[in-house]
Amino acid sequence: MSDLPGDLLYTKDHEWLRREEDGSVTIGITDHAQSSLGDLVYVELPEVGQDVDDGGEMAVVESVKAASDVYAPIAGNIAAINEDLADNPEAINSDPYGDGWIVRLTPSDGVDESALMTPDDYQQFIDELDD
């Protein structure tokens, strides 16, 4: 069973979103994603100020056995990146919803929650993947 905080939204690409009070959105990868990837060794981050399209490549997480793209779940502008990941990529393994956050986006067209999953939906989604 992987850990799924109830206050977050999820995507089919195994990312999570947290809506912050200032309107920005913090994004990371889920506990399920980090445990599938294994020990992370490197995270390639975008530049602050860069625009990203909905579904566009935003970052790369690399483990000892694979490298995966992290896609932008909504269109926006990169407001902040988690620079600590440069020296400490394993934070994504140990704390995927906290210290392991990857970027913070300022949405350009708001957040379409209907395109995202609730914790229950995401749980069902990964249960089906495991079947």
Partner 1 sequence: MPFIPHTEKDTREMLQTIGADSIADLFDEIPAELMIEHLPHVPEALSEMEVSRLMRQRAKMDGSPMCFIGAGAYEHHIPTAVWDIATRGEFYSAYTPYQAEASQGTLQTIYEYQTMITELTGLDVSNASLYDGASALAEASLMTVRINRRVKTGRILLAPGVNPVYEQVAAAIAGAQGLTFERLPQDAASGNIDFESLPDGREPAAVVVQLPSFVGTLDDVDRLTDWAHAQGALVIGVVNPTSLAILRPPGQWGEEGADIAIGEGQPLGVPMSSGGPYFGFMTCKQKHVRQMPGRIVGRTTDLDGNPGFALTLQAREQHIRRSKATSNICTNQGLMVTAATIYMSLLGHEGLVSVANTSHANTARLADGLTAIDGVERMYGGPFFHEVALKLDRPVAPILKALADRDILGGFDLTPIIAADALLVCATETKTAADIESYVDAFADVMANGT
DSSP H/E element including 127: helix 119-130
Residue in 5, 36, 44, 123 binding partner 1, rule: CB under 8 A: 44
Asked whether position 48 contacts partner 1 by CB under 8 A, the answer is: no
Q: Which stretch binds partner 1 (CB under 8 A): 63-71, 73-81, 89-97, 109-117?
A: 63-71
3-state SS assignment for residue 72: coil
The answer to whether 20 touches 26, Cβ cutoff 8 Å, is yes
The single residue listed with the structure tokens 């977050």 is 8
Asked whether position 121 contacts partner 1 by CB under 8 A, the answer is: no
Q: Which stretch binds partner 1 (CB under 8 A): 21-29, 40-48, 102-110, 111-119?
A: 40-48
- What's the closest the beta carbon of residue 103 comes to partner 1, in angstroms? 15
Asked whether position 38 contacts partner 1 by CB under 8 A, the answer is: no
Asked whether position 69 contacts partner 1 by CB under 8 A, the answer is: yes
**What are the tokens at 7?**
């206050």
Ranges of beta strands (E only) in 49-126 are 51-52, 57-63, 67-71, 76-81, 103-107
One-letter amino acid at 10 equals Y
Non-local (6+) Cβ contacts of 12 within 8 A are: 117, 125
Asked whether position 67 contacts partner 1 by CB under 8 A, the answer is: yes
Site residues for partner 1, window 77-116 (CB under 8 A)?
none
3-state SS assignment for residue 107: strand
- What's the closest the beta carbon of residue 2 comes to partner 1, in angstroms? 23
Contacting positions for partner 1 (CB under 8 A): 41-42, 44, 47, 60, 62-67, 69
